[in-house]
């Protein structure tokens, strides 16, 4: 039987079959309910959700949607965000993913998207389509007893106040806070209202019951909300003593004071013996707020948001740069969508990107450029690893001065 690709949003039966195929692809046996199908059709943008069907059976899935990504300097670029990519184990090596993704990327470029983004379940798949890792994350575990914190203090006098919140308050204050945070955090992506409803229990349709976390809100001395912490606590036993592990789901802070105060608040909980950071920035303040930073150990170190260029001039002109300089980039695109040789000229007035025939300072693929773009990776390291070529010996150092940022990019959200 021949396989055919079609959109699934308009037919509830197709969509239910598609959801089940997505779960099968990610080895999730959770059931699909009629309530979930109805809720997702009503609340999500499914206009670009596609499946490959053999008769009534969905054997491959793919979806993209509109997203914004924050870049250094506080600008944003429009992204074609790719998710729910699966191919049944029975149908691999038949070109199903290649057909879905190449068509979507061509359409996204025609639509005017500047980049495409995704979170790859497997590292080796997406480089051949021009993607590369653009942000990284660490996970920390803190032995609270060893940390040396004064149990009488949960923050500094000038760091404002932290208070618990309920679901209704989080839904009310969270979106505005996150908008301020994400426009100051390169690598952050947009959150829609459904994000907040799902994480505060306003929408519970899904394969598993929703469980309420703890929420804590930081307000500065003027009463302005500057940070939000979401975490869960798991009880255990050590000898004849109860022990509790607090695990962060998300911590977003619009100011350094709020970031410090929320970490110190969490570390000050009575009976909590271990704090786990969840996905945190590579340069999180967490270990630095500890009197004994050896109390914090890294338990996870991984790439996260991947990016591929679709419009090189708009992409490079959207961000700011660390110094005034000019550099010629010869970019190679495996799909032929965004390659070319361009002169990037950065100044205090902004950046301009124009085609050029000048000799290249750097020759690199779109995936390597993605790793440089938000400031996460070093051109000097990429050269040493054989990931790019330098037309001039000083070019990688100059590129690092241009592209690197004071704090590393970070994407707090999956999609």
Q: CA nearest 14: which of 57, 43, 60? A: 57
265 catalytic per annotation: no
d(CA 353, CA 76): 17
d(CA 215, CA 236): 21
DSSP assignment letter at 280:
B
d(CA 267, CA 386): 42
Q: Which of 129, 178, 265, 415 is catalytic?
A: 415
126 catalytic per annotation: yes
Q: Which residue has the tokens 């970070």?
A: 410
Sheet holding 161-165, edge to edge: 161-165, 214-219, 225-238, 241-253, 272-276, 136-143, 296-303
Q: Tell me, rounded to whole angstroms, the distance of Cα 252 from its chain centroid.
A: 13
Q: Which of 126, 129, 181, 373 is catalytic?
A: 126
d(CA 391, CA 363): 7
Q: Which residue has the tokens 């996150």?
A: 178
What tokens does 270 get? 């009575």
d(CA 391, CA 395): 7
Secondary structure tally for the chain: helices H, strands E:
11, 19
With H, G, I as helix, E, B as strand and everything else as coil, classify residue 73. coil
Please, what's the largest Cα pairwise distance for the chain? 74
Q: CA nearest 335: which of 120, 155, 129, 178? A: 129
Judge residue 159's burial from the number of C-beta atoms within 10 Å of its C-beta, 0-12 exposed, 13-18 middle, 19 or more buried. Answer: buried
Give catalytic residue positions.
Answer: 126, 415
């Amino acid at each position: 039987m021949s396989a055919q690709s079609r959109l699934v949003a308009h037919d509830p039966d197709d969509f239910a079959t598609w959801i089940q195929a997505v779960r099968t692809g990610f080895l999730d046996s959770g059931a699909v309910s009629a309530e979930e199908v109805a809720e997702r059709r009503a609340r999500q943008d499914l206009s670009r959700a596609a499946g490959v069907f053999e008769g009534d059976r969905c054997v491959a899935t793919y979806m993209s949607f509109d997203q914004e990504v924050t870049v250094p300097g506080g600008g944003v670029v429009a992204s074609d965000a790719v998710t729910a990519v699966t191919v049944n184990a029975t149908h691999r090596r038949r070109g199903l993913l290649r057909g879905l993704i190449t068509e979507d990327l061509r359409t996204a470029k025609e639509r005017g998207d500047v980049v495409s983004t995704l979170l790859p379940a497997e590292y080796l798949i997406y480089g051949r389509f021009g993607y590369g890792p653009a942000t990284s994350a660490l996970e920390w575990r803190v032995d609270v007893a060893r940390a040396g914190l004064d149990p009488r203090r949960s923050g500094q006098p000038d760091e404002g106040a932290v208070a618990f919140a309920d679901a209704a308050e989080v839904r009310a204050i969270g979106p505005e806070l996150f908008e301020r945070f994400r426009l100051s955090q390169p690598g952050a992506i947009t959150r829609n209202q459904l994000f907040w409803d799902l994480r505060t229990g306003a929408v519970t349709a899904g394969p598993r019951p929703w469980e309420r976390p703890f929420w804590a809100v930081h307000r500065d001395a003027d009463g302005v909300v500057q940070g939000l912490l979401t975490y869960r606590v798991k009880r255990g036993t050590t000898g004849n003593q109860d022990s509790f592990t607090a695990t962060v789901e998300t911590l977003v802070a619009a100011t350094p004071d709020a970031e410090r105060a929320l970490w110190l608040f969490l570390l000050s909980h009575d009976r909590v013996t271990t704090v786990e950071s969840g996905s945190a920035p590579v340069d999180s303040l967490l270990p630095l707020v500890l009197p004994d930073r050896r109390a914090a150990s890294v338990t996870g170190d991984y790439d996260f948001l991947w990016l591929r260029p679709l419009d090189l001039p708009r992409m490079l002109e959207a961000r700011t740069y660390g110094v005034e300089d000019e550099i010629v980039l010869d970019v190679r695109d495996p799909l032929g969508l965004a390659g070319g040789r361009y002169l990037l000229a950065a100044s205090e007035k902004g950046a301009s990107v124009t085609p050029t025939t000048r000799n290249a300072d750097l020759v690199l693929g779109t995936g390597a450029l993605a790793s440089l773009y938000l400031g996460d990776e070093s051109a000097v390291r990429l050269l040493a690893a054989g990931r790019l070529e330098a037309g001039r010996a000083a070019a990688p150092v100059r590129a690092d001065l241009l592209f690197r940022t004071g704090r590393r990019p970070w994407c707090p959200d999956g999609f």
